[in-house]
Structure 1
Amino acid sequence: MPSELALDRFVCFGDSLTELSWGENGLGASLAFLYQRRLDVLNRGLSGYNSDWALPCLKKWLSPKGSDEPKTQLMTIWLGANDAVLPGEPQHVPLARYLANLRAIVALVRDPASAHHSPETSLVLVTPTPYHPEGWLDERVRRGLPRTHDRAPERTKEYADAVKRLGQELGVPVADAHTAVMDVVREVGEDRLGEFFTDGLHLNQNAYAAVVEEVKRVILSSYPEKSWEAIPMLFPHWREIPNGALGPQYATADKAVAEASAKRVDPF
C-alpha cells in the first residue's frame, strides 16, 4: 500500500515538447516548481512519437481503475507536432485519426467503462506549437537529412485549430500554445520567429514561458480548486511546528524547532 504521505500526481503526457520541458522555463520544470509539496509532476513525454504510438504507451502508464496508487489530479495532453508532418513522412497521422486518438485518450480517463477510469483526473489539452521552417531545415541538414520540408506551418496550425474544436466538443479545456507562442513572437516581429526555438522545432525558454502562462491560465480558470495556490502543502509550514502541528510522534522535532525559534534562529 502507498504511504499516506505520498503526493498525488500531475502527469505531463506528450511528445518531445513535453519530454524536453524539464529545462529552464519549460512546462514540466515550471509546474514542478509551482506544485512542490503539493503534487508530484511526472514527465511522460515521448520524443518523436505521434498520437498513434503514444496512445498504447499511455495505457501502460495509467493506473488501473480502483488502484490504491496516488491519484492523478491533473494531466496535460500535448500531442500533434509529429502527427502534423506532411503525408508520406513516417510520423504523419491524418487529422481525423489524430482527433480520434485524442478522443480515445480522454475516454481512457473519463469513460466509466474504461479500465483506467479516473474521475479525479482533470484534463488539459494543449495545441501543437508553431515552428520556424528555415531553422528546422538547418536542423535536418545537421542530422544528415535532406534539406527538404517535412512539415508546413499551415498544416500545424490546422491541427492546433482542430484541438480547440475538439476541446469544445468534449468539454475539455484547451491551452492554446500555438497562439500563445505566436503572440509573443508578434511582439518582437514575426521575422524573429527563429529566436524562440532551439532548432526550429523545439521551444527555447522564451517560447516555453508563453506556454506555461497559457497552461496556468487554463488551470486557474477551469480548475481553480486544483491550482498551486489551492492545494495544501504536504506537512505544515515550519513556523507552525512549535504549536504541535506535526503531532506527538514528532515531539523531538517540535522541541528542536521551538528552541531555535526562541533564539530567533531559522532552523532551515
Structure 2
Amino acid sequence: MSKVKNIIWPQVFLFGDSITQYSFQAGGWGSEIANRLARKCDVVNRGLSGYNTRWAKLVLPRLLPPSLSNTTPAAVTLFFGANDYSLQDKNPQQHVPCEEYTDNLKDMVKYLNSAGVSNDKIIFITPPPLHEESWEKECILKGCCLNRLNTVAGQYAQACVQTAGQCGVDVLDLWSLMQKDGQDFTIYLSDGLHLSVKGNQFVAEHLWGLLESRVGDLPFILPYWADVDNKNPEYSLLCD
C-alpha cells in the first residue's frame, strides 16, 4: 500500500460584504453554490457585513495568507460596492470615492496574484440595483435618512465592470442584468438593498455560469460508496 496522503480540498473563496455574508442562509446563493460543489470543493464564506473595499483590502491578506499555498483557491469572488457607494454626506463611515473603489479592487487583484491566484480564477460581482423607496424605510427605522441612490450604485457597478476589463478578470454585472429590458428588479431585493429568495437564485444561476468552467469538472473526492471494496476498504479509501 502506498503512503497515505492528506486530502486537500479545492476551494471557492467568496469575499464580500453582507450580501456575501448572508449568502449561506437558507436559500442563499453561496449555499446553492456549495451544494452544487459538494464532494468536489469547499466553498468558503468570508463575507463581512458593512465592509467596504478600503477595509477589505487591508484584511484580505489575513484571510487568505500566501503561506496557504497548498490551498490556493480554484476561484475567488470579489463582491463589493454596496457600502462603498453610500452617500458621503449621509454615510461617511462606509463611503469610499469611486476612484478609490476601483483602485482598491485592483489592489486586491494584485494581492491575489501574489498569493498564487491567477486572473482567470477571479470574478468580480457588481452591487445589485437599489430600490430607494424600500431602503429608505429601512433607514428611517434605523433613525437615519436615505443614504444610497440607485444612480450612484450604477456608477460604481460600471466602474467595477471597467476595472474587471482592465485587470483581465470576469465580472457578473448584477446592476445591469437585474434591470435588463426594464424588468421589475424589486423582486430580487428583500429590503431594497439585500437579496430576496429570487435574488439569491438569480445570483446563484448567473455565477454558476461563470464558475462551472473553472470548477464544474472537478472530480468527486473519495470513492462513491458502492465502489468501496468491502473486503479491503483500506485499499479503496487510503490509496491514491
TM tier, shorter chain?
A: 0.7 to 0.9
RMSD of aligned C-alpha atoms?
2.4
Q: Distance in 2 between matches of 1:246 and 1:176?
A: 48
- What code does the residue aligned with 1:42 have? V
Q: Distance in 2 between matches of 1:122 and 1:31?
A: 16
- 1:179 is aligned to 176
- What code does the residue aligned with 2:173 have? D
Q: Distance in 2 between matches of 1:245 and 1:212?
A: 41
**Offset of residue 6 of structure 1:** 3.0
Alignment partner of 1:72: what SS? coil
Alignment partner of 1:42: what SS? strand
Which structure carries more relative contact order (alpha carbon 8 Å, separation 6+)?
2
1:54 matched to 2:51? The reply is no
**Offset of residue 105 of structure 1:** 0.4
Alignment of 1:99-178 (within 5 A): 99-110=102-113, 114=114, 116-119=115-118, 122-143=121-142, 145-146=143-144, 148-178=145-175
Q: Unaligned 5+ residue runs, structure 1?
A: 252-268
Alignment partner of 1:12: what SS? strand
CA separation of 1:246 and 1:99: change in aligned 2, threshold 3 A = farther
- What code does the residue aligned with 1:159 have? Y
Alignment of 1:7-46 (within 5 A): 7-46=9-48
Q: Distance in 2 between matches of 1:135 and 1:157?
A: 17
Contact 1:27 1:209 in 2 (8 A): yes
TM-score (normalised: structure 1): 0.79
- 2:66 is aligned to 64
**Offset of residue 175 of structure 1:** 1.1
**Offset of residue 184 of structure 1:** 9.2
Counting matched residue pairs gives 232
Contact 1:76 1:124 in 2 (8 A): yes
- 1:227 is aligned to 215
Alignment partner of 1:76: what SS? strand
TM-score (normalised: structure 2): 0.88
CA separation of 1:69 and 1:244: change in aligned 2, threshold 3 A = farther
Q: Distance in 2 between matches of 1:247 and 1:199?
A: 53
Q: Distance in 2 between matches of 1:244 and 1:175?
A: 49
Q: Unaligned 5+ residue runs, structure 2?
A: none
Identity in percent: 28
Alignment partner of 1:21: what SS? helix
Contact 1:180 1:214 in 2 (8 A): no
